[in-house]
Amino acid sequence: MKRLKLKWLLLGSLLASTGTSFMWPLTTVYMHDYLHQSLSLAGVVLLVESLVMIGGSYIGGYIFDHLQVNFWLQIAIGLSVISLLLLIFFNGWPAYPCLLIINAFGGAIANTIVNSMATLITEKDSRYVFNMLYFMANIGVVLGTMLVGIVVKYDIRLIFVITFIMFIFFWLIARTYYHVPLNNSASEKNVPSKHVHLEKTSHRHVWLIMGLLLTYLAIQLGYSQWQSNLSIYMQSLGISLTKYSYLWTLNGILIVILQPFLSFLEEHYHIDQFYKVLLGFILFILAFISLIFAKDYWHFVFSMVWVTIGEVITFPTVSSLAAQLSSIAERGKYQGSVSIAASLGHAFGPLLGGIIIEKASYEWLFSMMSILVIFATIICVLIKFMLFNSK
C-alpha cells in the first residue's frame, strides 16, 4: 500500500488556496459592480456561504472518521470543479451566488479531509506538518490576491477559468497521490475489542480541545473585523482603501518570512505546544487592545504586525494540538471542529461587529473583542491546569 506523502498534501493545499484566493477578494465587488446587487445582499450571500462551509467542515470530519476517504475527497473536489466550470458560462444573477455556495461546500469538505489526512503523516512531527500546511496555504493567498489584480484587468471571467484549472490539478493530485493507509481511523472500527478504547477521546482531552476551540472562535470573531469593518473605520479616519490593502500585503509577507523560521525552531527545539498557543492568544489580545487607540496609519501597521505574529503562532498550533489530543478514531471530528470554529467566526464576526458599531462605537467593538479573547483564554488556562496538573 502506498503511503501518503507530505509533499503532495502541501502541493494540493497550495493549488486549492491559490484558486480560492482568486475568488474571495472579488465576491462583494463582483456582486455589487457587475451584477448590480446591494451590499447588504452581498453580505447575506457571504453569510450563507460561511454557514454552508460549517456544514461542509462537519461532513468532511465525519467522512474521514467513518467512510472511504479517497472516494469522497474526489467527490468533494469534483463538486468544486463542476461549479467552477459552470461559473465560466453562467456567472449572472442568481447563478453566481448559487454556484459560489456549492463551490464553498465542496471546498470545506475537501479542506477538512486534507487537514485530517495531515494527521496520518508519519515522516514528520505533526507540529511541522501543520506549520507547513499553514505556510503553503498562505503562499497561495499571497499569490492569488497578488495575481487577481492583474488578471481582472483583462476579463473578470478569466478568474473563473484559472480557478477551474487549479482545482482540476488539485483533483488529479488527490486521485493519484492521496493514498490513505489501511490503518486509518475508519478502519479502526474493525480492530479487536481490546483496542476499543482508542475510539474515544478522553474526557479531559475533550475539555481542553473545547477550551482551545472557544478561544480560537473568539479570536476569529475579532480577526474577521480586520477583513470587514476595519476598512470602513480606516476610511472614516482619512486612510485610503489602498493603504488598507497594503496591510494585507504586509500580513502575507510576514507570514512567508516567519513561518519557515518557526518551523525551524519546532524541528530543532522542544517547544511546549500549549504554552506556544497561549503566547499566540496573548499576542492577539495585545493586538486587539492596540486597535482601541489606533487613530493613524502607523498604529494600524503596528497592530497588524502583532496580529500576524499571533496568527503564525496560533492558527497551525490549534490544529496540531487538536490532532495530538484527539484519539485515532476522532481525528476527523476534531479537525472539522477547528474549521467550524473558524467559519463561525467569519460568518458572525462582521454581523456582530456591525451591531456593536451601530449601538456604540468602534472603540467599544475593539474593547469587546479584547475582553472576549481574554475571557476565553482564562477558561482555556483553567481547564489545562485543573485537569492536567492535578495529581
> Is the per-residue pLDDT at 182 higher than 60?
no
What nine digits make up the cell of 150? 492583474
- The residue assigned the cell 456544514 is 55
Give the Cα separation of 161 and 85 in Å (integer): 7
User: Which pLDDT does position 20 carry in this prediction?
Assistant: 85
pLDDT single digits (tens) 273-282? 899 999 999 9
- Record the pTM: 0.80
> Is the per-residue pLDDT at 132 higher than 80?
yes
Helix, strand or coil, per DSSP, at residue 5: coil
Say which range, 17-26, 326-335, 356-365, has the weakest mean pLDDT: 17-26
C-alpha distance from residue 376 to each of 169, 279, 303 (Å) = 40, 14, 21
Under the banding of pLDDT at 50, 70 and 90, the label for residue 381 is very high
Residue 25 preceded by cis peptide, ω within 30: no
Say which range, 30-39, 161-170, 223-232, 294-303, has the weakest mean pLDDT: 30-39
Mean pLDDT of the chain: 85
> Is the per-residue pLDDT at 190 higher than 60?
no
* DSSP designation for 91: -
Instruction: Judge whether 216 and 47 are in contact, CB under 8 Å.
Output: no
What nine digits make up the cell of 351? 454581523
User: Which pLDDT does position 285 carry in this prediction?
Assistant: 96
User: Which pLDDT does position 184 carry in this prediction?
Assistant: 52
User: Which pLDDT does position 382 carry in this prediction?
Assistant: 95
- The residue assigned the cell 476522532 is 330
User: Which pLDDT does position 219 carry in this prediction?
Assistant: 96
Under the banding of pLDDT at 50, 70 and 90, the label for residue 121 is confident
Give the Cα separation of 227 and 222 in Å (integer): 10
pLDDT single digits (tens) 191-214? 444 334 456 888 899 999 999 999
Instruction: Judge whether 209 and 334 are in contact, CB under 8 Å.
Output: yes
For the chain, which domains are there?
6-180 (1.20.1250.20), 200-388 (1.20.1250.20)
User: Which pLDDT does position 232 carry in this prediction?
Assistant: 80
pLDDT single digits (tens) 82-114? 999 999 999 889 999 999 999 999 999 999 899
Within 10 A of 257 (CB to CB), how many other CB atoms are there?
11
- The residue assigned the cell 453566481 is 96
User: Which pLDDT does position 187 carry in this prediction?
Assistant: 45
User: Which pLDDT does position 390 carry in this prediction?
Assistant: 57
> Is the per-residue pLDDT at 181 higher than 80?
no
Q: Where are the alpha helices (DSSP H) in 4-66?
A: 6-23, 27-29, 39-66
If one compares 382 and 50, the residue with the highest pLDDT of the two is 382
pLDDT single digits (tens) 329-343? 888 888 889 988 988
If one compares 290 and 270, the residue with the highest pLDDT of the two is 290
User: Which pLDDT does position 292 carry in this prediction?
Assistant: 93
Say which range, 16-20, 47-51, 74-78, 243-247, has the weakest mean pLDDT: 243-247
User: Which pLDDT does position 193 carry in this prediction?
Assistant: 40
